Each structure stands twice: as C-alpha cells, then as structure tokens.
Amino acid sequence: MKVLVTSPANPEEAYAPLVEAGHEVIYGRPIDAGRGEPYTEGELLELCHDIDGVLSVPTALTRRVMEQSPKLKVLVNSMIGYERIDVEAATELGIMVCNSPTPENFVSVAESSIAMMTMLAKRLKRKEARVRNGEWSQGSDRGFLLWQKTIGLVGLGRTGTEVAKRLAGWDVRLICSDPYASADKAKEMGVELVDLPTLLKESDFVSLHVVITPETFNMIGEEQLRMMKPTAYLVNTSRGEAIEEKAMQRAIEENWIAGAALDVFHEEPLPVDSPMRNLDPERVFLTPHNIAHTDASLVANRAMAVETLVTALSGEVPGPVVNPDVITKWQSR
C-alpha cells in the first residue's frame, strides 16, 4: 500500500516500520515549527489521489480531499488534536481517523499548564526584566501564593486529570467543569465537579483542557470573562478556538481579569499584526503552541502514529480511533 507522510521529521528511520511492512512511503515537506508553507487543498488533492494511508501533522484534510482519494482508508495524526481533519466526512466515507495520545504528550501539557500558573503567580517575567534592565527588587514585584487558592479545570480528560494529579499535594482547592466526567472519577482525583459559571466565579486560575467541538468553540467569551474575578488568571494550553479572542483582549485591557497565559490561538502562527501581541507583557504570557514540546514527546508521538498506521493498514483496528462509529464500514471496504 502507499502511505503519505505529510510533514516528515528526521531521521527517516522513524518510519522504517512502514517500509518493513511492505508499504511505499512518500515523504512530503516539513511544515511544522515554521519550516515550510502549509499544504494547499490543491496540493493534497494531487498527493492523496492514490494514497491508502496518511500520517498527518499538522495538515488540514478536507471533505473534498477525502472524496477524491478513493483508496484512502486511514488518517493518523501524530498529535492528540485532530481539529484539522474533517472527522464527520471521514466517517461518512469509511475512513478511520486516529490520533496519538501518548503520556509524553499530555503529561508535558499538564506540567506546562502548572508552570504557567506559577509564573503568573510569582510575576517572573517582571522580575527577570528588572534584572536584565540593571534594576533590582521592588515592592510592586511581589507575587502571591498558590497555596489555598482555587484552581478551576475546564475539562477532566487526559490533560486535566494530569494537572489535578500534580496539584494534589499543593494544598489548593480543585474544581472542575466537565459534563462528561463521572462523579466517581472526580472524587478519586480530589476534584469538586461544578458548572462552568460557578467555576468561573470562584477560581483564581481557570485552566482550559478541552478539544474543539460545537460546545467548546469560543466557550470563553465576554459573558464568561466578566464572571471571573478581577484577580483571576486564564490559562490555555489546549486549543485557541476555545477563547473568543476579541473578548480576551478587552478583558485584559479593561481589567476584567488579572492576566492570562496562552499557548494556542485561533490563527497559527499568530499574525505579526495581531492585537494579542500588544497586550501588557507583564500580565499576558504568550508562547507559540510549543510550550509542551519535548524531544521525548516528539519521538513517542511519532512512534505511536507509525505503529497505529501499520496496524490499520494490516486490517486490524488500532487503539486510538477517534471515530469508532466508522469501524464496521471501514472493515467492509
């Protein structure tokens, strides 16, 4: 069978299991980390027309591309997120979609979320800037304790769970809004389940850990931001589309909230002229959707994706299937 790797990472030996399984591997151009232009739909139509499987990161795969790729059976993203893939179209067409939820990935995101909270609480950007500018400590640089604060987790999936586990010994109050989280799991994690308005009103930090669905798209807008304490901070290491960015800008500029730490945005890379770049750097911490990237997560994610693709192309159902409703139709192809 023929496999397309849309954004290969060196060394190519990482994809050796595909070759060893007898598949022809076609390597596209690197497009992650700003190393190349994203594929156009036209390019993907040409590349995928006789492809059986795609290992995709971070490539948009549309309904049109899938409809005009009659041999296509499986799409595997070597990350946890899969928002760029039209999963509904894939399911209708009998195409299996898989992701790569490795512990190296979601544990790193959890660690990064806590790091952002700590950085904001201790005002580390301001303190470091003083030293670099030849200054020294001032009273206005004082931070505050996370101890006995309320941390609100929006989502108790893999990453939210890892955040809760890591904060369990910090003597903080953990609350969570997640309509799909069970009461038993929350109790086991030492987390109090509440609705979103309650979480927003009571939290000192609101940390987002969601995938993008119709329910979560722009779920944090003006109404929600105005519910937050003026001393509270918003942390987002999940998906930029969860926050309505114009409302976020107003919230900072008009002091509805104390600040934010954002690793993700609606448009990535963040445009050079984006107003987000002009927000007060002492109150807003911006990173380029890579705060959780590590060598370990890159290797683990790629290995899982390759293994998943080999399994699926052999006719077996792999573990991380995003659209399980497709399995019966996929097996009949």
Q: Please, are residues 61 and 86 in contact by the beta-carbon 8 Å criterion? A: yes
Q: Identify whether 239 is a catalytic site residue.
A: yes
Catalytic residue among 123, 239, 283, 293: 239
Catalytic residue among 209, 283, 289, 293: 289
* Closest C-alpha among 237, 151, 235 to residue 191: 151
Q: Identify whether 24 is a catalytic site residue.
A: no
Q: Please, are residues 54 and 305 in contact by the beta-carbon 8 Å criterion? A: no
The beta strands (E) that lie in 169-277 are given as 173-177, 192-193, 205-208, 233-236, 259-262
Q: Identify whether 289 is a catalytic site residue.
A: yes
CA–CA separation, 55 and 26 (whole Å)? 10
CA–CA separation, 7 and 1 (whole Å)? 19
Q: Please, are residues 216 and 222 in contact by the beta-carbon 8 Å criterion? A: no
- Strand, coil or helix: 53: strand
Q: Which helix (H) or strand (E) holds 183?
A: helix 183-189
Q: Name residue 2's beta-bridge partners.
A: 24
Buried b (16+ CB within 10 A) or exposed e, 214-240: eebeebbeeebbebbbeebbbbbbbbb
Token look-up 């594929």 returns 39
Catalytic residue among 67, 135, 254, 268: 268
119 C-beta neighbours (distance < 10 Å), count: 16
Token look-up 């509904």 returns 88
Task: Write out the catalytic residue numbers.
Answer: 239, 268, 289
